[in-house]
A and B are shown apart, each in its own frame.
Chain A
Amino acid sequence: MPLVLRGARPYGEEAVDLVIADGLIVNIAPVGSADGDVIDCDGLIALPGFVDLHTHLREPGREDAETVESGSRAAALGGFTCVHAMANTSPVADTAGVVEQVWRLGERAGLVDVRPVGAVTIGLSGERMAEIGAMANSEAQVRVFSDDGKCVHDAALMRRALEYVKAFDGVVAQHAQEPRLTENAQMNEGILSGQLGLTGWPAVAEEAIIARDVLLAQHVDSRLHVCHVSTAGSVEVIRWAKGRGVNVTAEVCPHHLILTEDLVASYDPIYKVNPPLRTAADVEALREALADGTIDAIATDHAPHPHEDKDCEWGAAAFGMLGLETAFSIAVKTMIEPGLLDWRGLADRMSVAPARIGRVREQGHAIEVGSIANIALVDPTGTRVISSDRLASKSRNTPYASMELPGTVVHVLYGGNITVRDGALA
């Protein structure tokens, strides 16, 4: 018997019955006209399941912080049907063996499409290229390569990596951070870092690498993706590059769309993240860039850490914050509510564009007949108060604890199967 999503509103438009069978959307019918197992979706908006280009699942190696399974649960509850698992695990995902292991763990969890990201260099050391071809041709079919957490700072190596991935239609996702300019960096460099006595992470350290990389991508005619863009200057560089026809895409993290550096004055490491929280002017520029398409996608940089790595001094704490279970709400608050994006725009930035960048054929489909049924059904009027104790992630390091956020994920379909129902794992 087919599944009927009764009264769902694709992209917030007219309410319809979405009929799902064999993993596909097989019919779109007037409300109340379709037969089958009915799920009441009255008032809910149907969007293509979200695709995250930047997730740290921590397995293998740091299963105390997150596992592929716990991260998959968090992702599903956040409306995601696909996540890209970053390579900075232990061991590093720099061989076909490791990426296949992660991919299989994702299959076993069965809640989202887990797409491993392959390391660009062996051990993320920035010295020798990893076996990119083996990872691309493995069962995991890796298309996104990144040393995330570290920058591929050697210009010649970056050039070669950009060239090499062309053979597999791959993309190099750069963590843009000039290492010498950011030694022991703790927070955005500016007036506040000087007052707080915390070593600054200057915007130029990000912007200089992006400027170099877009020129390299143009020179070798390859595809570059910029991870977690955090500054207004980076936006300008990317806008300039796109204007010149450079094949560059970029992502922004939810926290960089809403949080600013002044939170660091508390010295509470919950706000410690890399790249760091920036200024209100940066936040504004990032929102505008996401609205006008200069930045292509929202990516969470979901970074689970065990409690002890955050319950300490700022300088001793780990970088990173959780994101999967709150990304949609932050997108609603920062982009939908101010009118910067409509629901189709949000679907593009959270699903269509990231699926295209990651070359995930099964994801980012439109809500139309024939598409694979990866669907998030969201309540735009719902709100909830975030509690770090009530997250599916194994870690608790959310910066939004006790904040009331708009937008709730109610049901999620992954490949036609219900993974989340009424806001809980099915």
Chain B
Amino acid sequence: MKHLLSAADLDRDQAIMILDTAAELASLTDRSVKKLPTLRGRTVVNLFFEDSTRTRISFEVAAKRLSADVINFAAKGSSVSKGESLKDTALTLEAMGADAVVIRHNLSGAPHRLATAGWIGGSVVNAGDGTHEHPTQALLDAFTMRKHLRNGSGDLDGVRVGIVGDVLHSRVARSNVLLLRTLGAHVTLVAPPTLLPLGVETWPCDVSYDIDSVLPRLDAIMMLRVQGERMHDAYFPSALEYSRLYGLDSARMARLPEHAVILHPGPMNRGMEISADVADSPRSLMVEQVANGVSVRMAVLYLLLGGMKEND
């Protein structure tokens, strides 16, 4: 496996290998010297066309803990704004000898293009593209759920996960549906019909418009960020109505099974999709998700650059 572009690139064994590797690497963070020499002399470029400090830092820390050389390339101008084109940027990075390019882009498919257009020879890791996918986010979510619900090993067979919010515009939702399905979990998407993509009924998951009917049978609930501005495009009437119908507040949290955990990919809109007291409750795993993100990204870089065997 050379690139990680979509959660669909991973079969069950590969996904579990990444999670197991991440678990091993996570033990590193408990040591006083947090560095491994694994990727010494390799160059990882963080190519970010979109502001995302948390994802960029997460990848940066991951690469540095593996002793890779890290170049942060904040490319403001894509060819959309008539700045340097993705192609020219890619050729530049290739000339500098990038072994892996971690790309975040506002346009869906940009990582796919970077990997397949023949511009570069190194590995490409999708760190979020448009409204398409964000596979390492799905991996860290799976890692977090596995730790709390399956003692940190194996797959997620039978785990019931609710993903609530703006599925239409969410790359996190797309990657999670694909990966969680691969790992045997049962996903229910919850959103108003306007925030679900056409054809969602063909996705490997259930769909509901009613959060309250779903809550009592969940093992994990993931709240997606919903931009208040969406109401200007008539996706919903007001932030208040959205929050009332789909937001997770303490009353709804109380209807979750006792063992159920709460995830959010961040950044949160407190008071919109999640209330402050829920966000700050001990059942919310947002801070842990961030820590796990580093481990999972270390595992991805390690396996892509160190070599992960293709499954037969």
Contacts and interface: CB of A to CB of B under 8 A. Distances in A.
A200 B116 contact: no
Interface string A164-201: 00000000000000000000001001111111111110
Indicate the member of A194, A198, A268 with the most B CB atoms within 10 Å.
Answer: A194
A311 interface: yes
Contacts of B110: 267, 313-315
B79 A197 contact: no
Contacts of B112: 266-267
Contacts of B106: 315
Contact of A191 (B131, B132, B171, B198): B198
B113 A197 contact: no
A197 B106 CA distance: 11
A197 B129 contact: yes
Nearest to A308: B85
A112 B75 CA distance: 46
Nearest to B78: A316
Interface centre among B78, B106, B199 (most CB of A within 10 A): B199
Contacts of A401: none
Contacts of B78: 313, 316
Given A313-B79, A313-B105, A316-B80, A267 B200 contact: no
A155 interface: no
A314 B111 CA distance: 11
Contacts of B79: 308, 312-313, 316
Contacts of A202: 198
B158 interface: no
B86 A197 contact: no
B271 interface: no
A281 to B, nearest CB: 14
A197 B171 contact: yes
Contacts of A195: 174, 199
A202 B109 CA distance: 20
A189 B107 contact: no
A197 B85 contact: no
A314 B108 contact: yes
B167 to A, nearest CB: 9
Interface string A136-162: 000000000000000000000000000
A312 B87 contact: yes
Contacts of A192: 199
B198 A197 contact: no
Contact of B202 (A191, A200, A308, A312): A191
A199 B130 CA distance: 10
Contacts of B107: 313-316
Interface in B73-125: 78-80, 85-87, 105-110, 112-113, 116-117
Contacts of A316: 78-80, 85-86, 107
Contacts of A194: 197-200, 203
A268 B112 CA distance: 9
Interface string B226-253: 0000000000000000000000000000
Among B106, B107, B109, B198, chain A packs the most CB atoms within 10 A around the CB of: B109
Interface string B202-224: 11000000000000000000000
A247 to B, nearest CB: 34
Contacts of B166: none
A374 to B, nearest CB: 42
A113 B215 CA distance: 69
B93 to A, nearest CB: 15
A196 B109 contact: yes
B202 A315 contact: no
B273 interface: no
Interface in A285-330: 308, 311-316
B60 interface: no
Contacts of B132: 196-198
B133 interface: yes
A315 B85 contact: no
A298 B132 CA distance: 35
B117 A311 contact: yes
B155 to A, nearest CB: 23
Contact of B198 (A189, A314, A315): A189
B25 to A, nearest CB: 30
Contact of B108 (A190, A198, A266, A268): A198
Given A195-B199, A316-B107, 17 more contacts: A190-B199, A194-B200, A194-B203, A196-B109, A197-B133, A197-B171, A266-B116, A267-B112, A308-B85, A311-B87, A312-B87, A313-B78, A313-B110, A313-B113, A314-B108, A314-B110, A316-B80
24 contacts: A189-B198, A190-B199, A193-B197, A193-B198, A194-B199, A194-B203, A197-B131, A198-B131, A198-B132, A202-B198, A267-B109, A267-B112, A268-B117, A312-B86, A312-B87, A312-B113, A313-B80, A313-B86, A313-B113, A314-B107, A314-B109, A315-B107, A315-B108, A316-B86
Interface of A: 186, 189-200, 202, 266-268, 308, 311-316
The 9 closest A-B pairs by CB, nearest first: A197-B132, A194-B197, A267-B109, A191-B199, A315-B107, A197-B108, A197-B131, A316-B79, A313-B107
